[in-house]
Structure 1
Amino acid sequence: MDLLHGKLYWPATLPAPPSYPVLEEDISCDVLIIGGGSSGAQCAFELAQTGLDIVVLEKDLIGSGSTSANTALLQYLGDKMLFELVNSFGEEKAILHTKLCEKAIDKIEEVSKILPIDPDFKRRDSLYFASGGFGSNKLLHENFYLKKHGFKSELWSEENIIQHYPFRKQSALYLYDDGEINPFKYTHGLLQYAKKYGVRIYENTPVNGRKRDTDEITFFTENHHSIRAKYTIFAAGYEGLEWKKEKNSVLSSTYAVVTTPVEDLSDWYKRTLIWETARPYIYMRTTPDNRIIIGGLDEKTNNAEKRDAKLIHKKEKLITEFNLLFPITQVKPDYYLSAFYGGTHDGFPVIGQYPEFPNCYFLFAYGDNGLVYSGIMAEILRDVITSGSSTMLSLYQQRK
């Protein structure tokens, strides 16, 4: 799958990342993790101290897939608004999911402190503004459930917004204690930590076949070696769909720009994460070296050639969208990309279990909070594999 195209920023922040060998022998293990991006790395981290024999296989270089394109805004609200999730799943499940996202950000913060590679985690508040009158209505509904269930948020009027930002919007939600991170450094930090506890990691090792036994699967690599595993986690991001189609998944295309460093960000209140109620939406964040990441302008295409043909136009449009909000701040694009972006029809990520894949779990952390969702599901899968169950598994199992 042609996941992305362009000039990538995150790998440039860690120019000499750890490297790992190619698998050159037949092996067996307790748990095989297929995928060496942020999802696979979080699974490896969670399983590292369980006493199980863990193997991670990455087809390319660690973190070189969608992890390198992830703009890494860490938020507990997502594509589907909370009140929409309440309508789809009921209030109890929708709130539970949102609380789990909030808790996952807390966990990411704590984990970041112990990793051998600093992933530049930073707490940030979010400004979620209304794209129009209808957007203001949505924010009213959203704020009702946020306040009811104790989330730290405020509903801001136009006057509140212009007191803090150089732009006008009819209304906005101001959300406390979201976050940002460098996903490339986070992935490498997690795997370096897991390696200390005996997790075996291989890169440049594509898996291209499997043989099903009664209660396990043997996998085969392109260079004709085998891996026999009691349990397998497919944490291959969007490429997991090449192993198993999940009917709840939706693949589209997205775009992002990273600017040159900006000297003065003083008119950006607390360097908040910024996004809007429109769908598709524009979003923005800053980086530790004072760059600005601007993303969005999604297209409903899963054709890589069509996606990439629009990159130059989208790059210019994203800069224009930024200048509509911050007209005085002069920015120039330095890095820019087009990439596939996966979501789900109903707004919840998916843990897939399928009869033709015994003792296998597909981690489809699809949506705009993929890194957060991966953290939640990595904990669930750790509990399922080590103790046979998790009270949260049913929340994310594939829906019929």
Structure 2
Amino acid sequence: MTISTIGRRIRLGLIGGGPGSIIGETHRIAARVDGHYDIVAGALSSDPERARQAALNLGIEHERAYPSWQQMIEEEVARPDRIDVVAVMTPNDSHHAICMMALDKGFHVICDKPLANDLAQAREIAARVEATNAEFCVTYCYSGFPMVRQARDMVRAGELGEIRQVHLQYVQSYLAAHDLPAGWRTESGRAGRSLVLMDIGTHAFHLGAYVTGLDVTRVCADVGSAIPGRTIDDYVSALLRYENGARGSLWVTNAAAGSEHGLSFRIHGDKGGLEWHQEEPNRLIHRRHDGFEQIITRRLGPTMSEGAQRSTRIAIGHPEGYLEAFANLYTEFAERVAGRISEGERDDRPTLFPGVSDGVKGLAFVDASVKSMAAGAWQDVERA
């Protein structure tokens, strides 16, 4: 990966992700990997004392270890060394309020997925991003894997031809036990209209759209639980129809006993297909309709696509994985924000990292899937 010189380090303020949060530590590692960020402020918990102590434990100065996210945003605005970016890693039901306030106060935002708790909130955030002209990233982190970007570039170069089928899976065992684990995800309303769709379903949905460049226009979904008597959604299977007429499927569950992570795609055009499994992230399988199977590995060199080369760090092929993929999004966002700081104008060129429109599309898919289940019929997916 070519790590650019961006002029100065980006000042980062953290909201959420405190003690006990897996995703919080992931965000912090991602911010540090390429050395573009200084974590200078934080409100890491909804409990004021825990929020302060967690920030102090990270080495944040006492005056910038805030008891609440509201106080952090208000006080940072007035500082001459104010933060540049707010990173949001709180439960889903708080994303809307935090993002809206951060945008109104002039900050750029990195928000953990899903963008909001429902489609209406997601659209409000997108409208505010447009009005404030801010930079915004939604951390659909699997789009940062080099072999995912290799696949994306190959599709765009026409190596698969016209896309005809897209099949997506994300199969975990996190909720396979009858007793639900404690935490906000299993509290009514906090995770959104469907736990499984909001938690991991939007990841699988985004992966298909990211690689193919195609939007899903219609969905027929079976959403519910694979555990008898459970009222929280832990299973979805869906038939998909893409904007070019391609057909697809999505199978997502976090209640498949014995599974580990199980995120994968198989994409087929009229010239061949691509297959990728996140449990073996450095291998991409390319099958040509009229040729041999090819295994493409993550190895920096001229045979890799531009997107894949940009996203890999180690030339001789040592394994890279989840944390590096997450870091790719943070680094690309830092470059974008640094350009805004130095140039003062927004760069309208497409980004490799997912933006606010990707977040809106994810919530539109969730909305259509839930409606499809209720109606027992195909449902149109609203456009972002």
TM range (shorter): under 0.3
By relative contact order (CA 8 Å, sep 6+), the higher-ranking structure is 1
Q: How high is the TM-score relative to the length of structure 2?
A: 0.27
Higher share in strand: 1
- Give the TM-score normalised by the residue count of structure 1: 0.26
